[in-house]
Amino acid sequence: MLEVRWLGCAGLELEINSKVILIDPYLSRPGIFKILFSRIAPAPDLVNSFTARLAGRVSAVICGHTHFDHVLDVPEIVRSLGCRAVGSSSLKTLLDISGVSAEVTICSGNERIDLDDDIRLQMIPSRHGRVLLGRTPYPGEIDPLGTLPLKASQYRLGAMFMPKIEVGDITLIHSGSAGFIESELDGHRCDVLFMCVPGWKSMPEYTTRMVNILRPEVIIPFHFDDFTRRMPRSGKIRMLPSIDLQGFVERVHKYSPGAVIRIPKTNEVMRF
């Protein structure tokens, strides 16, 4: 059985027979003032309580790209758990300047990686959504001469991937931004598709062509929460402004009418 817990933003915690895989875990969620005008750093209380719960069970931390709302906490998580990391050369740079010595699998695209005996990963090359005035924010690589703490803008995109996880007869694809490369998705399909919501209107084929190619049975929108505020332990999630989650759901349903669309909740465990 595959159990998935949404951590907020594009963060996922996957549990397979007591083994855990993390994708883009982002817990600290600094406030808007720090994101815009200051330097940002992990919140020790949030990171420590998270890693304490998972000690000894995490096989890998996977990063689809290296914007701050995907990797800010990754160096401390990897350091604490002593697990491997999988991502771009930009992720390796971030771990290096953070002083983290860990096994890092650097991907260039379409690598097939055995994370455990029954867990397989493929890093599908992808494209970031145009979410900042019609542009992709912070392109390029993290500077190897950067000094921590970094500004939000110094967490550059790096290479962009769509992690594909296969566990037994279940296939999950993680689309951490509202973009894709159609030629790279040829021949792929999935049972469960996590879809980033922000930026979907800037790339209409993301909600039409992509779902037609992948033909998921379950679609889970995510990354719609306000990442400048801490995730509530329970209760209503504050969404990003002008996100139009309902419009997103209606459009996806129109072009993938057979799929179940499921909105994740705080701390909910989804079983597949």
Q: Where are the domains of the chain?
A: 2-269
pLDDT in tens, 67-106: 999 999 999 999 999 999 999 999 999 999 999 999 999 9
pLDDT at 157 over 90: yes
pLDDT score, position 190: 98
Show Cβ contacts of residue 101 under 8 Å, excluding neighbours closer than 6 positions.
Answer: none
pLDDT at 251 over 80: yes
CATH class, 2-269 region: alpha beta
- Sign of the alpha-carbon torsion through 183, 187, 188, 190: positive
**Which alpha helices (DSSP H) does the chain contain, by range?**
32-37, 44-54, 68-71, 74-81, 89-97, 182-185, 209-214, 245-255
pLDDT score, position 263: 96
The two tokens of residue 210 are: 């992509």
How is the beta sheet containing 19-23 ordered, strand by strand? 104-106, 84-87, 58-62, 19-23, 11-16, 2-8, 269-271
Residues in the chain: 272
Phi, psi of 202 (to 5 degrees): -80, -15
pLDDT in tens, 102-148: 999 999 999 999 998 889 999 999 999 998 777 899 999 999 999 99
pLDDT score, position 219: 98
pTM of the model: 0.97
d(CA 14, CA 115): 12
pLDDT score, position 31: 95
Distances from the Cα of 43 to the Cα of 40, 72, 111, 130, 172, angstroms? 9, 10, 32, 29, 29
Predicted confidence band of residue 266 (pLDDT cuts 50, 70, 90): confident
Average pLDDT over residues 41-57: 96
What's the angle, vertex CA 216, arms to CA 201 and CA 259, rounded to 5?
80
pLDDT score, position 118: 87
Average pLDDT over residues 144-169: 97
